[in-house]
Amino acid sequence: MNKSVLSVLAATILWGCDRQGLEDNTIEALTSDQAATSTDENPAFAATRAALERNGSVNWKTVSLTSTQERWLPTGLQVQAGVPLTIFGFGGIQFDSLRLESRHLVWVRIGEDGDLIQLASDQFTFEPDRSGQLFLTIPPLGMYWESPAGEFPEDFSDMPAYPIAMDFIAVQWSGDPEQNLRRLAQSGDDAFSLALHKLSNPKTLPDGFSYLWFLGQSEVFEQFDDGERSGVHGYADGDYGIIKREVDLPLTADSEIGFDWLYTTLPSHGPETEEQYHDYLSVAVEFENGQDITWLWSRFLAVEEGFRCPLTWWDEHETHVVLQSGTEGLGEWYSHKRNILEDYVAHIGGEVPERIVGVWFIATSLSGTPADAKFANVSLLDSGSALTIFASGE
């Protein structure tokens, strides 16, 4: 298989899996209650569908996905730009102790030439920016998108399939979606209550940040302001995400990054150098050559230890550096400053890039222990000048 189509998504979320499991088709398809097979009807899906059938006043369609080789499936739902749409996902897959929900796997687009959208949650409401038919797909683990257009790679059919049993309901609301969801939630169906809660309590990113398009959206990051500091809060529990702010700065001998962080919990159950324990939170800078350095707090690794990411694809792009170790000091703020060029030379080496092109925050935990940290007062410094990523107290 061409290295260029190895899955960034799969590498990020399947570090605890034996690759042979994919090829032997030993991943288990699950419904939301972890009890049904692909031939059973998911009870949660059936309950939500029944509530919509009784309502009779909204435009909705259902689709079931049972194969990762179906490319883009039409839903039959013609959506209108600017009219709120909610997509409910039901089901997931299980591999040993690792469970992936529908939001981790499904992608949608509007129209045959629309850009990719991944669900941020299993009850995801958004306003489409274009009109057209809604399409869904779940690509095989082992591929990732080469562009936001969602075109499948040439060797797509050669990638191993895996069993899925996932159902989706797409609803385009007539009128205020919050009022519609509140009315439907009175049926006692959890899907409507969860969708209402997420719609009423949106998580807003700091200005200038967005999720990496090829990994998709999630709900692990949100801006915070506690009166003394403002920045970004990362909390992942059975989820993951990377957000980025684009920058364009020269990399010089004086280039530094300064930041404050407060870690509450450390998610990894072992050294992050190993695939099965690669759960963490961090701040990172990206360079024009596609490399990035990420600084983290580790429970198990020594301070100043640097290592390449153990995950497929990322092992050629990402380097980690430990700044704090152990558990002493969790729940307290700490300040750090790093010379970026010195860390690049010491931990990556080779030809030095000329420019810094992004600031990232990373949060991932699929191990069962939440990842929880805040980052504030982040600045890129060079010869007396400073680019403030988000300011304290704002």
CATH number for the domain that contains residue 239: 2.60.120
Do 178 and 219 reside in the same domain of the chain? no
294 and 274 in one domain?
yes
Instruction: Please state the φ and ψ torsions of residue 3, each to the nearest 5 degrees.
Output: -55, -30
Which of 170, 200, 230 marks a domain boundary? 200
User: Nearest CA to 160 among 295, 5, 48, 280?
Assistant: 5
The reply to whether 186 and 282 lie within a common domain is no
Q: List Cα–Cα distances, 152 to 68, 100, 157, in angstroms.
A: 12, 22, 9
Same domain, 188 and 238: no
Task: Give the mean pLDDT per block of 10 residues along the chain (394 residues).
Answer: 33 36 43 41 90 84 87 94 96 76 92 94 96 92 81 77 86 93 92 96 95 91 94 95 97 98 97 94 98 98 97 93 98 98 98 98 91 97 91 48
* Together in a domain, 243 and 386: yes
- 246 and 117, same structural domain? no
| 191 and 213 fall within a common domain | no
- How high is the pLDDT of residue 111? 96
Supply the pLDDT for residue 380.
98
For residue 173, what pLDDT is reported? 94
CA distances (Å), origin 73, targets 69, 111, 167, 195: 10, 11, 13, 24
Domain count, the chain: 2
Say if residue 359 is in the same domain as residue 247.
yes
Same domain, 153 and 226: no
Query: What's the CATH number where 44 sits?
Result: 2.60.120.430
> Does 265 lie in the same domain as 117?
no
The reported pLDDT for the residue numbered 391 is 56
290 in the same domain as 174:
no
Range(s) of the domain holding residue 59: 3-200
Looking at the fold, whether 80 and 226 belong to one and the same domain comes out as: no
Angle at 159 between CA 120 and CA 2, to 5 degrees: 95
